[in-house]
Structure 1
Amino acid sequence: MTHTTDTPPDAAADAPIVDVIVDHVLGARYEDLSDHDLHRARTYLLDTLGVAIAGSRGAAIDALIDTARGWGDGDEATVWVTGERLPATQAAVVNAYQIHCLEYDCVHEAAVVHPMATVLSALMAFCERRAGRGQPVSGRDFLLAMCIGIDVATLMGVAAHGPIRWFRPATAGGFGAVAAMARLEGLDKTGVKDAFGAMYGQTSGTLQPHVEGSPVLGLQIGFNARAAICAIDLARAGFRGPHDVFDGPYGYFRLLEDGAFDLAPIRETLGREWQVSRLSHKPFPSGRLTHGVVDALMRLTAAHGFAPEDVASVKGTAPPLVTRLVGRPDIPNPEPNYAKLCLRFVAGAWLARGKVDVPEFSDPEVLADPRIHDFAARVEVETDDNPSQSALAPQWWQVTLTDGTIHEIDLPHVYGHPMAALTDDENLAKFRRCVGWGRAPMAGDAADALIAAVAAAETLDDAGALARMTVIPGARD
């Protein structure tokens, strides 16, 4: 797909990168999206709503909602599932947290970004606020804006080449959310740049909560979703922001990405290839970097028929990002956020229970299960020689059985990647599991209605209606 921008093709290589991004925000058209792109957009829209409904039982969610209510009164947007009405900024914080708190939301692997968590939480609250002001956003406009936001957030991640230091789903995600809303707000080029500048002044999110297993990890996505809405409001009011925020002397890539970046992927890809079709599903509610070992164990047991009790050891090699972020030691009685980011625990859970899903990370008795930890002690992972600091694959895994038999597997792509994607039926099955795991189960007819609405999202007169369809009566009782 291509679209016309204000930057001539022969000047694109020399244009400031902020102009390249702004031209995409303002120049992309709904007609540029292929049928495949639109199908993937609807797929990940449904998936994200589903994981958010499951996330309504996330750690300290009641405390977060009550605290957010105290930040200011307003009736602009819906807290998904429980139905409280809050200012759009506060609703975005809560909903972003619900999307990411279970580590179940989709990811762009090359970017190391979960774009939907930040983009959708801000965008949906923004759409509800516009509807309340008599300016509802159509489904077509919503889908286009969402895809624009995904493009910006993910290609910022792709352009970064160094070891991830800040929490990129929050930091890059905030710029994606601004891009999506700026398109709908009708800002001109200067206004979009002002909004990006206001976003950069608020950008936040480190990896320290990831290391410690703190639920603040997901909350950082909410902080940037809120910041994105504030940035749009400031730009609409004419508040001037800095413009050279991406590659300026103190810009995003030089500070947050430590100067290790290459802007060519942004220049070459924006307007040519929609990144929504490059997203990966999360088939398991754990860090995406833990999924390779589960995929390998699933494939090897299916092929060779051995039982978990037959496993003497599991050994693998994976790119540096895997070992650095999820190669952490297994510990007794881990907190949920630590366990789902521990490759050894996740592998042990699959061997001990035959599945890895929401209950494996929400029940204290399961988290302390000695059988899981016994299996976890049999798992080792080492760093391979992959030069990329963002790669998830390829991976190699070896299972040695108690009788000495050895089984090996190479994984060029991990289950959930576009080259090893979930089927439509698997996506629907995941959604139905998720809506049954919220703080109150969603009724079957309500789930069917939400599925149907997303399937026909482009026909909606008010995209914000999707937020209200997540509400489950009695969920906060």
Structure 2
Amino acid sequence: MTDAIERFADHVVGTRYEDLPADAIRAAKVFILDSVGVGLAGTQAPYVREAIAAFQGAVPGAGARVWGTGEPLPPPAAAAVIGYLIHNSEYDCVHEQAVLHPMAVPFSALMAEAEARGGIDGKALLRAVVLGVDVACHIGCSARNGLRFFRPATGGGFGAVAALGAAFGLDRERLLDAFGIYYAQTGGTMQAHVEGSPLLAMQAGFNARNAVVAVRMAEAGIPGLRGTLEGPFGYLNLMEGDYDADALTAGLGRVWRITEVAHKPFPSGRATHGILDALRELRTEHGFAVDEVASVAAAVPPLTHRLIGRPPKDAMTPNYARLCGSYAAARLLVTGDLGVGDFTPEALGDAATLELAQRITITADGNPDPNALTPVTVTVTRHSGANVSRTLSVIYGNPAKPMSHEAHLAKFRGNLAFAHGPVPAGNADTLIALVDDLESLDDARRLVDLMVVG
């Protein structure tokens, strides 16, 4: 019996840029620009300077630059830091069925190596992104258990290997080696999510680094595992526990997973977004003010409750608060929106927000699907005793309920304005234009040139 990893390798090696449908290319452009924006906003997160210093001390050298600040690092270390930047604000895109952030690991590894090696034009970048997302999300969609390990990091690393293999022309055998070497290094625990630890995002960085190392080792001739996914101790049996073998690769070449990826309109866990979307709709429809709200009750699937049902508390860290549905909902009601500025120490200490958050309850609804994020039902009760409810099965940002192009660009510009520096508005305009016409870009390093502001 052959391992499914072989079918993924065949998919990567055998897919040309010309084979990609137009909607996949459009989606890749959207989420490349989105990932650049959230990564630059991530330069303002806690522990960025410490992470850069740690990698500079542990692995001195150069080859690729840290986004925003520009420090030179060897490609594996640069990939690790960029992965942390992309995911640390909980603002990066998500594939809801796979329960996986499909750009954080693949794109950080790809951009670090594209800068270090050079020669990656826009078409090669687009092809690599589409294939990396495809591999990561097909693997994630096959899982039938709830999250055991941190799938955005572990599954995302397979996508990173695929993206690097596509970009740098690995043949089938070398790509199989790289997948196997990556799996021997992979890791990522949900304990970081439980604790609201910055290590949650750093795990994306660790696996981006591991993917870079795996590809370089395979290129050097080091053999990898071959039962990488379906062996008795392969990824799916050991780290996912139960999976649908038929669903694993059935859609390859027909279902392009990047077209299913959801935008994140708010910088908080995607599991909070159903509550936030419902509250925005209810407020727009019924026009209530925040001081009219007596309580809010949200009934959500067990996975959603597990991810963001944690209690609000004083002195929350940004990482904890981004995964606290009650805080996110309260902050949206108090300010009218939820943005990157709502996780500063000042915002996290706002008395009105914290008091309202204590009146917002989130309960599990008994949904039998361990990977479901919807439906979500939100009920707002006013001090008058009147209440209004909304049930959502599709959440704003999903391709079936998409952000507009204008909202996408506004998010990008807002992230660059918030970033270290900040990034000049002219650079934002140029980045938008370059990504919009990415097929014509001669070298992906031009994107990094515009991201580094000293």
Instruction: Provide Cα deviations, 1:191-237, integer angstroms capped at 9, x if missing partner.
Output: 11110110011101101111111111111111100000100011111
| Identity over aligned pairs, percent | 44
Comparing 300-309 with 378-387, greater Cα deviation is found at: 378-387
Q: Which residue of 2 aligns with 1:229?
A: 212
Secondary structure of residue in 2 paired with 1:201 = helix
Per the TM alignment, residue 185 of structure 1 is displaced from its structure 2 partner at its CA by 2.5
Where does structure 1 lack aligned partners over 5 or more consecutive residues? 1-13
2:247 and 2:58 map into 1 onto residues whose CA distance is 40
Match of 2:442 in 1: 461
Superposition pairs of residues 277-292 of structure 1, within 5 angstroms? 277-292=259-274
Q: Does 1:440 align with 2:421?
A: yes
Match of 2:8? 21
Equivalent in the alignment of 1:213? 196
Match 1:379 to one of 360, 381, 384: 360
Match of 2:232 among 244, 249, 259: 249
Please name the residue that 1:122 is paired with.
Answer: 109
Kindly indicate whether residue 329 of structure 2 is the aligned counterpart of residue 347 of structure 1: yes
Distance of 1:314 and 1:80 partners within structure 2:
40
Correspondence for 1:104 among 91, 104, 107: 91
Partner of residue 381, structure 2: 400
Q: CA deviation at 1:391?
A: 1.3
| Cα RMSD for the two superposed structures | 1.2
Alignment of 1:186-197 (within 5 A): 186-197=169-180
Deviation at 1:154, TM superposition (A): 1.1
Aligned residue in 1 for 2:57: 70
**Counterpart residue type for residue 341 of structure 2:** P
Contact 1:105 1:117 in 2 (8 A): yes
Q: Is the 8 A contact 1:71 1:90 kept in 2?
A: no
- Counterparts of 1:400 and 1:32, CA distance in 2: 52
User: Which stretch of structure 1 is more off in the superposition, 111-120 or 380-389?
Assistant: 380-389
Q: Are 1:269 and 2:219 counterparts?
A: no
The TM-score, its normalising length taken from structure 2, stands at: 0.98
Q: Identify the residue that residue 343 of structure 2 maps to in structure 1.
A: 361
Tell me, in whole angstroms, the C-alpha distance in 2 between the residues paired with 1:182 and 1:263: 24
Shift of 1:365: 2.3
Match of 2:391 in 1: 410
Correspondence for 1:199: 182
1:57 maps to amino acid: Q
Alignment partner, residue 301 of structure 1: 283
Quote the Cα distance in structure 2 between the aligned partners of 1:394 and 1:31: 38
Helix, strand or coil at the partner of 2:314: coil
Deviations 1:52-104 (A, max 9, x none): 11100111111111111112232311110111111111111111111111110
Q: Contact 1:22/1:192 (CA < 8 Å) preserved in 2?
A: yes
Match of 1:153 in 2: 136
Q: Does the aligned pair in 1 maintain the 2:3–2:226 contact within 8 Å? A: no
Q: Name the SS for the 1:59 alignment partner.
A: coil
Which whole-Å CA distance do the structure 2 matches of 1:267 and 1:202 have between them? 23
Separation (CA, whole Å) in 1 of partners of 2:246 and 2:430: 43
Aligned position for 2:32: 45
CA contact (8 A) 1:317 1:383 kept: yes
Quote the Cα distance in structure 2 between the aligned partners of 1:128 and 1:104. Answer: 24
Hey, what's the Cα distance between the residues in 1 that align with 2:166 and 2:320? 38
For 2:81, give the aligned amino acid: V
2:401 is aligned to 420
Shift of 1:386: 2.0
CA distance in 1, matches of 2:431, 2:58: 30
SS in 2 for 1:400: strand
Question: C-alpha separation between the residues in 2 aligned to 1:384 and 1:32?
Answer: 43
Which stretch of the first structure deviates more once superposed, 299-308 or 63-72? 63-72
Instruction: Please report how far the alpha carbon of residue 142 of structure 1 lies from its aligned counterpart in structure 2 after TM superposition.
Output: 1.2
Query: Whole-Å Cα distance in 2 between the matches of residues 98 and 29 of structure 1?
Result: 30
* Contact persistence 1:80–1:468 (CA under 8 A): no
- Which residue of structure 2 lines up, in the alignment, with residue 6 of structure 1? none
**C-alpha displacement at 1:15, in angstroms?**
5.3
Local SS of the residue matching 2:400: helix
| Amino acid of the structure 2 residue aligned with 1:429 | A
Q: In structure 2, what residue type is equivalent to 1:415? A: Y
Q: Distance in 1 between matches of 2:128 and 2:247?
A: 20
Q: Shift in Å at residue 248 of structure 1?
A: 0.4
Paired residue type of 1:33 = L
Residues in 1 aligned to 2:321 and 2:440: alpha-carbon distance in whole angstroms: 41
Q: Deviations over 1:264-312 (max 9, x none)?
A: 2222111111111111111010111011111111000100111111111
Taking the aligned partners of 2:346 and 2:236, their CA distance within structure 1 comes to 43
Please give the alpha-carbon distance, in whole angstroms, between the structure 2 residues aligned to 1:390 and 1:200: 23
Give distance in 2, aligned partners of 1:434 and 1:188: 38
Cα-to-partner distance string for 1:349-378 (whole Å, 9 max, x where unaligned): 11222221111112x122121211111111
Give the distance between the partners of 2:246 and 2:357, measured in 1 at CA.
41
Structure 1 residue 94 corresponds to structure 2 residue 81? yes
| Partners of 1:387 and 1:420 in 2: CA distance | 24
The CA deviation string for residues 254-273 of structure 1, in whole angstroms up to 9 with x for no partner, is 11112x11122222111111
